[in-house]
Amino acid sequence: MNLIVFDLEWNMGNAPKTFNYHGAELTLRGEIIQIGAVRVDENGDVLDTFEMTLRPRIFRKLHWRIAEVTGLSQGDLEAGVPIAEGLRRFQEWAGPDAEFAEWGLDDVPVLKQNLFLYNMDESWPSRWYDLQQIFLKNFPRGEGEGLTLESVVDRLGIEHDGDFHNALDDALYTTKICRRLPLAQGIAEYPDPAAQLTAALLNNTDTETYDIQTYFD
């Protein structure tokens, strides 16, 4: 198994936008500006890492809230790898047989939206796992306990040795949680997530229609 634990940071606009996704009006969740990924074995041990800051093409101005949370600057984005090239390089690094795992189920829909927008293979990855579900089977949530990455890191007594909301650091924190789990068993028992992804992708709201093609003319 080629398992990739990953995290994304993405930029957004001041107003929601939509685009046409196979005939459905879909809300653009965000444009990826940072990728962090860790290739792990069945025990969660690190085999390789990938990190890249991307230069967005749609939401070019860094939203103030994203800057505040991630610590990224407008200069960081402008110095980043063009997003289409960065996504291609990420696909090449991960490999066509990659299976993705993330903390929650927020990043896979964003990744697939961005792949679609840049005319890349949105069927990749074909398999993904929400590690929160595996975690909760082994560490039931107590009253008042959060499920944010930082709160679970603290709950498990994992040392803070990186910045939260930095994509690679978050992916590395997630691998440390994986090492506290029966990861191989959790993956083997994991249900087909296709319905979850479909619901996440089609979570539409009333927003202005977004003509995505204007950015590619």
Q: CATH number of the domain that 112 lies in? A: 3.30.420.10
Q: Which residue has the higher pLDDT, 27 or 4?
A: 4
Helices 107-117 and 194-201, interaxial angle, to 10°? 60
The pLDDT of residue 86 is 98
155: its two tokens: 């709950």
Among candidates 152, 118, 114, which has minimal Cα distance to 133? 152
> Is residue 174 predicted with pLDDT exceeding 90?
yes
The C-alpha atoms of residue 187 and residue 1 are separated, in whole angstroms, by 11
Pairing of strands 81-82, 46-55: parallel
Please state, for a pLDDT cut of 70, what percent of the chain lies above it: 88
**Close Cβ partners of 149 (under 8 Å, ≥ 6 residues apart):** 103, 164, 170, 173, 174
Residue 100 confidence (pLDDT): 97
Higher pLDDT, 201 or 3: 3
The number of distinct structural domains making up the chain is 1
Question: Would the pLDDT of 63 be above 50?
Answer: yes
**pLDDT-derived band of residue 217, with 50, 70 and 90 as boundaries?**
very low
Q: Is the pLDDT of residue 214 over 60?
A: no
CB neighbour list of residue 69: distance below 8 Å, 6 or more residues apart: 165
In a domain, residue 213? The reply is no
Q: Is residue 217 included in any domain, yes or no? A: no
In order of 4, 28, 67, the CA distances from 173 in angstroms are 13, 27, 21
Reported as a single tens digit per residue, the pLDDT across 85-126 is 999 999 999 999 999 999 998 999 999 999 999 999 999 998
Q: Is 215 within a domain?
A: no
What's the token pair of residue 107? 């990043």
Please report the pLDDT score of residue 209 as a whole number: 35
d(CA 109, CA 130): 12
User: What's the rounded Cα separation, in Å, for the pair 174 and 208?
Assistant: 36
Please give the residue range of the domain that contains residue 170. Answer: 2-208
In whole angstroms, what is the distance from residue 43 CA to residue 182 CA?
A: 8
Residue 202 has pLDDT above 90, yes or no: no
What mean pLDDT is reported for the chain? Answer: 90
| Residue written as token pair 């025990």 | 43
- Domain presence at residue 21: yes
Q: Is residue 79 part of a domain?
A: yes
Residue of 91, 73, 82, 30 whose CA lies nearest to 54: 82
Instruction: Report if residue 144 sits inside a domain.
Output: yes
Mean pLDDT of 147-167: 97
pLDDT for res 180: 96
The reply to whether 18 falls in a domain is: yes
56: in domain: yes
CA angle 155, 161, 164 (to 5 degrees): 70
